[in-house]
Amino acid sequence: MEINRREFAVIPAAALAGSLFAAAPDDVPWQRKIRRLGQLNMTEHDPVVLNVEEWADYWASLKIDAVMVSVTGIMAFYQTKVPFHRKGKFLGNRDFFGECCAAAKKRGMHVIARMSPDLNWEDAVQAHPEWFQRDAQGNPIHHREDARLFNTCMFSTYMTDYMPAIMKEINSLYDVDGLFTNAWPPLGAMPVCRCAECRKLPEPGTLAYWEKFNQRIVYLWKLYDSIAKEKKPSNFFFANLGGGIRSTADLVQLGELCEWFQCDNQGRGGDETPIWGCSLQGRVCNAVQKGKMATNVTAGWSTGVPRWRNVYKSPEEQQMWFDETLASGMVPYHHIVGGENGMGEDRRWLEPARKYFNWMAKHDVHFVNKRSIANLGVVMGQRTHLFYKPPTGTQMRQYMDGMYYALLEGRFLFDFVHEDKMAPEELRKYSALVLPNTALLSDEQCRQLRAYVDAGGSLLATFETSLYTELNQRRAEFGLADVFGIRKAGDMVSTNFNGYMARIEKPHPILNGFANTNWIPGAQNRVPLAPVDGPVLTVVPGFVGYPPELSYPPQSHTDEPAAVVREKGKSRLVYFPGDVERTMWTTGHTDLARLLQNSIRWVAGANPPVTIVGDGVIETFAWETQAGFAVHVLNYTNPAMHRGWIRDFYPIGPQKVSMELPKGRSVTRVELLRAEANIPFRVTAGKIEFTIPKILDYEVAAIHSA
């Protein structure tokens, strides 16, 4: 679909600002007011092929509040005087960055100067060998895709001399509103460098190295932010983050420091990444950066391996990523690579994003969130995800994938809670916390969880939760042993053939729905526990699966608990010594899914703030908003739910919604934003009830409230 050029309209700055800007208090920083972002990632060839005015008109037609414009650092898009900032070979005498900056400003958009400090050319290696990463033999490390480029080292003066020189030059020449670094801090994995500076540091991949790594990030972040503010006080620096729970940088430190959490979580490909990956990222942002700006970069280009950076992906897949960005509380960010490609050869990416962003702009007030109204928290153990070594043949991400899936199937409303944000004031709103194999917990974090339980909070934990300190040192006993009433009775047991089973010893709400059986499956791996009084489930040890003649339990009854269930005052406690969530994820066994959902429901209590009854697999977010409340429902009922990409949407039927209303709040109407229709509702006994008739990919029930 091509956009007729006559449809492009230069939108006045006042109109671009929209109702949100007009309604927001004057003391709210500008970056917290934006609702949409755009980036056409410039290529070296773009000065030849890109029409700057068309580029700016397109973004204006999407009602974009800010654009990223490439400076870069690898190659210059302006007439730089910084040594080793090589000009693109098609730049000529043009000030390409300046032209784009001026065109965006003319249309009322903020401009972020985008830089890449991660790579440079061989002439820089020759002149400044100290700037670059080195392998174990001392050789500079080539970029993995283009051998003409070399990886720079974040601990070198490249970051304190060269990059600040570019930033100061941009400040002196252009009316920019912020500075941004792409590809730094490193995403996915911490760097392994053997340069002279890095040889002074602890071994890469250790917690001691992580501490130095984070200290360097904080130092450089503050340095770059001070440079940004030399231009004007409202300017600031921010950088590429994202990575979900497995972020390389300390998320809590950066959540306190940075003004804008930029999530480079652009999409999924043909691997086994579930569709909710973007929503998970939004939950991470809400856990560490409440009230500040968080954006998710959604690629129009074809994500995955192999990637096609110049060809459009499935529009349904991109749309679902936009849906999840909005639902989880982040701001959508549309991204494509190269003007020659994005606005020339493949133009399919243009119209769907424009249609989506214009729909969103009509309803901006309902996407300005004040707070999540979930009362169930899921602890995200960042150190565990970075440093814990799971059993052979397993992956760390499978623990959260399994628990997340169980939460979605059970239709629970939940937030993420970072392990370093468990003070009483952070946990007070939650009736229960879930700890999916949160192996690394400090003594202080265990104390906080103990205090939470003493105050009436409930806990569910699995496998090796609290068996390691925050320094990844194995404890002789669980750090939360006294809380759950458990005692370790041996080292981990793995079953790779016929798994062990759990024997039902007595009825309990966590076993609701299990009938006509004494056995249910156990986890693949477990930590043996000492006997407890009145166990609900006990272990039937594993035995051979083949030959079938020997497939029976030599010992059919033991006193080893397969689950420990306790009540302590108002608190409800469940501990599974096995990796039940991971085993459920890898096997798909419905008994394990039922067991997890029953257990979560029992510890969470009887009065969830929102319930939704209907068919299909959904994810729900509920927010108090500027206009009242909003219940977001994402429809994941799709054969491509576990493996990208979505090719089509599969609608689900009526969804009956019930939500607790705060005392004193009245409701004037309920509006479905995607259907663009008001629907009937009723308020009884402090609850509002209504039915969403149909959901294609996503619906937002906007509850107008006074």
What is the SS3 assignment for 496?
Answer: coil
Residue with the larger pLDDT of the pair 542 and 102 = 102
Rounded to whole angstroms, how far apart are CA atoms 191 and 166?
A: 23
Sign of CA dihedral 221, 386, 118, 110: negative
Task: Inform me whether the pLDDT recorded for 10 exceeds 80.
Answer: no
The pLDDT confidence band at residue 606, using thresholds 50, 70 and 90, is: confident
Per-residue pLDDT tens for 501-553?
999 999 999 999 999 999 999 999 999 999 999 999 999 998 888 898 888 88
Rounded to whole angstroms, how far apart are CA atoms 427 and 448?
A: 9
The pLDDT confidence band at residue 48, using thresholds 50, 70 and 90, is: very high
Enter the DSSP assignment of 79. Answer: -
The pLDDT confidence band at residue 342, using thresholds 50, 70 and 90, is: low
**CA-based Rg of the chain, rounded to a whole angstrom?**
27
The HSE-up count of residue 389 (CA atoms within 13 Å, CB side) is: 8
- The whole-number average pLDDT for the span 270-279 is 89
Report residue 128 as tokens.
Answer: 């400044």
CB 310 within 8 A of CB 337: yes
* Count of CB atoms situated within 10 Å of the CB of 365: 18
Rounded to whole angstroms, how far apart are CA atoms 110 and 334?
A: 15
Report residue 569 as tokens.
Answer: 């005052």
Give the closest residue to 231 by CA, choosing from 182, 178, 159. 178
Rounded to whole angstroms, how far apart are CA atoms 677 and 665?
A: 22
Rounded to whole angstroms, how far apart are CA atoms 469 and 431?
A: 26
Per-residue pLDDT tens for 144-168?
999 999 999 999 999 999 999 999 9
Per-residue pLDDT tens for 311-338?
999 999 999 999 999 999 999 999 998 8
* Count of CB atoms situated within 10 Å of the CB of 95: 16
Rounded to whole angstroms, how far apart are CA atoms 174 and 113?
A: 9
The pLDDT confidence band at residue 409, using thresholds 50, 70 and 90, is: very high
The pLDDT confidence band at residue 11, using thresholds 50, 70 and 90, is: very low
Amino acid residing at 112:
I
Report residue 73 as tokens.
Answer: 């650092």
Torsion, Cα 536 540 541 542, to 10 degrees, reads -120
- Sorted by where each starts, the structural domains of the chain and their CATH numbers stand as 5-362 (3.20.20.70), 376-602 (3.40.50.880), 610-705 (2.60.40.1180)
| DSSP E strand stretches across 88-174 | 110-115, 119-121, 149-151
pLDDT of residue 26: 65
- Terminal Cα distance for the chain, rounded: 42
Enter the DSSP assignment of 518. Answer: S
Sequence-separated (6 or more) residues with CB below 8 Å from residue 664: none
